[in-house]
Amino acid sequence: MTSAAATPTFAREMLVSPLTGPSKRSEADARVGMMIFLASWGMVFLTLFFASTVLRLRAGAWPPPDSPLLPSATQNSAWAITAAILASSFALHRAGKLARAGRSTAARLAYSATMLLGCLFFVLQVYSWVEAARAGVELQGSIYGGLFYALTAFHAAHVLAGLGALIWALPSVTRIADAGSAEETLRDRIRLSSAASFWHFVDLAWIATFLAVFLV
């Protein structure tokens, strides 16, 4: 996971008018700052994946023969979670296009759909934990269960942070569509593109988590 991969097309498309001088520098500085921020968190995820790989190799057989396996309900939930977060990224991308086109109501609806799908993601994640616990997959005393809970919980914390960022940027969707003053529009573009970049990063991080936990 790299900062380049974590900075989506949506973020680059948030420019609604050419900028010059200090405004252009401000937006460029915001982009660079966001890329550094995402790169740092990408390294944290990579470190966790590397550590989990080492533990799995040391365990020999995987899953360990004496460990309860993840139930089908948890595995099915993981696929539904993946669909929800991918759909949320599409809705967020759509919200940006609608905002730039001046379609305020439609942009707000698409943006709200992104947040609802994010909430659905979290609800399904909690459901998957509950079903895993009922099947005997424990956090302590099992490398298999410990890695499952650790990786998915760490990602879920980022989903909550992403939802907070989306709520923070929600008013910017309308203001961009209404094309306010140049200063307000610039500030809102930076705010919305930053929230969008983080959300798409969370999306990519889940894909990696999904592969590491459920498919590899």
Q: Is residue 2 part of a domain?
A: no
Q: Is residue 97 part of a domain?
A: yes
**Per-residue pLDDT tens over the stretch 151-203:** 999 999 999 999 999 999 999 888 888 875 555 688 888 899 999 999 999 99
Q: Is residue 3 part of a domain?
A: no
Q: Is residue 114 part of a domain?
A: yes
Q: Side chain identity at 13, as an amino acid letter?
A: E
Q: Is residue 4 part of a domain?
A: no
Q: Is residue 27 part of a domain?
A: yes
**Per-residue pLDDT tens over the stretch 50-103:** 988 898 888 778 888 888 889 999 999 999 999 999 999 999 999 999 988 888
Q: What is the largest CA-CA distance in the chain?
A: 64
**Per-residue pLDDT tens over the stretch 13-52:** 433 344 444 556 676 777 788 888 889 999 999 999 998 8
Q: Give the residue among 143, 87, 94, 140 at the shortest CA–CA distance from 116.
A: 87
Q: Is residue 211 part of a domain?
A: yes
Taking each helix axis from N to C end, the angle separating 104-134 and 182-210, rounded to the nearest 10 degrees, works out to 30
d(CA 10, CA 178) in angstroms, rounded, equals 19
Q: Which residues span the domain enclosing 165?
A: 20-215
Q: Provide the CATH number for the domain around residue 202.
A: 1.20.120.80
User: What was the pLDDT predicted at 185?
Assistant: 80
What's the gap between Cα 115 and its chain centre?
11
User: What was the pLDDT predicted at 3?
Assistant: 41
Q: Is residue 167 part of a domain?
A: yes
> Please, what is the average pLDDT of the chain?
85
Overall domain count for the chain: 1
pTM of the predicted structure, to 2 decimals: 0.81
Can you read off the two tokens belonging to residue 141?
Answer: 């005393």
